[in-house]
């Protein structure tokens, strides 16, 4: 097994030993609405995720079978997005998460995150190979269907709202409003509505601000650059709750620089 790249920042505040994990759970998982696991191995997998030991998180999660799909797929997607610098290995990570999510959808269809992490990793996979190429492969409808299923099961899933905002913005940016609307059901107004709802649900989330900024730029370009910059500045000034948010905050800082 190829050893994953290590988390490159200080994670001393993100260990969540013992009962600290349950105490912090609501804040840590406001965005994805994941319930606290009873399984102690899964609790440890989530500790690894929040501290930035993403590969260990996946290993522990997979020991629990499909029950561990959420932490395994979130850890894989976050690692591949931020820390994997080899394109082939990055795509392999996304594909592994997509396959695991497909099994989760079959076995746990009433779990909102079975569907969400399917869409999340499909979306990241699409960006890694080019959105146009992914659309030709039929990935767009799969992302949309999984995100809609997520929100049917969990209407307050903030990360799904953000992802749907990005879905609409990406489609319109790549194929235009008319084809985007007729072929993929993409809408500029829907994109904004999803982004705004996500910020209502998680006003302190760096990624919700970053993705809203990305979406605005995809939709409007330089005409909304001041708003995009403002969203990135807000994200860069936020205090991260864990390793994932540290990566998000740092990405905002890097983009501003």
pLDDT tens readout for residues 69-125: 999 999 999 999 999 999 999 999 999 999 999 999 999 999 999 999 999 999 999
> Is the separation of the CB atoms in 30 and 110 below 8 Å?
no
Query: Does pTM surpass 0.85?
Result: yes
3-class SS at 110?
A: coil
Query: Mean of the pLDDT values across residues 16-43?
Result: 97
> Is the separation of the CB atoms in 36 and 16 below 8 Å?
no
* pLDDT for 185: 86
| Model confidence at 213: pLDDT above 90 | yes
User: 170-188: buried (b, 16+ CB within 10 Å) or exposed (e) per residue?
Assistant: bbbbbbeeeebbeebebbb
pLDDT band at 137 (very low <50, low <70, confident <90, very high): confident
Rounded Cα distance, 62 and 39, in Å: 13
Q: How far does CA 46 lie from the centroid of its chain?
A: 15
pLDDT band at 184 (very low <50, low <70, confident <90, very high): confident
Radius of gyration of the chain (CA): 17
Q: How far is CA 81 from CA 45, 75, 76, 152, in A?
A: 19, 10, 8, 27
Q: How far is CA 5 from CA 53, 239, 248, in A?
A: 9, 24, 17
> Is the separation of the CB atoms in 103 and 143 below 8 Å?
no
């Amino acid at each position: 097994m190829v050893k994953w790249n290590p988390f490159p920042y200080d994670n001393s505040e993100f260990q969540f030993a013992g009962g600290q994990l349950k105490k912090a759970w609501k804040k840590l998982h406001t965005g994805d609405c994941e319930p606290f696991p009873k399984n102690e191995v899964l609790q440890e997998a989530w500790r690894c995720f929040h501290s930035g030991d993403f590969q260990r998180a996946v290993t522990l999660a997979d020991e629990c079978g499909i029950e561990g799909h959420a932490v395994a797929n979130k850890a894989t997607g976050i690692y591949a997005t931020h820390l994997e610098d080899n394109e082939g290995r990055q795509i392999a990570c996304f594909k592994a998460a997509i396959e695991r999510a497909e099994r989760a959808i079959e076995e746990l269809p009433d779990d909102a995150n079975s569907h969400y992490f399917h869409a999340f990793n499909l979306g990241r996979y699409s960006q890694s190979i080019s959105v146009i190429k992914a659309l030709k492969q039929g990935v767009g409808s799969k992302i949309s269907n999984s995100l809609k299923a997520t929100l049917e099961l969990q209407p307050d899933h903030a990360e799904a709202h953000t992802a749907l905002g990005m879905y609409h913005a990406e489609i319109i940016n790549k194929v235009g409003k008319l084809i985007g609307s007729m072929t993929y059901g993409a809408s500029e107004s829907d994109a904004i509505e999803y982004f705004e709802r996500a910020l209502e649900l998680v006003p302190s989330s760096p990624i919700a601000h970053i993705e809203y900024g990305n979406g605005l730029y995809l939709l409007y370009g330089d005409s909304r650059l001041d708003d995009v910059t403002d969203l990135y500045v807000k994200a860069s000034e936020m205090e991260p709750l864990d390793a994932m948010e540290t990566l998000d905050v740092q990405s905002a800082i890097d983009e501003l620089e």
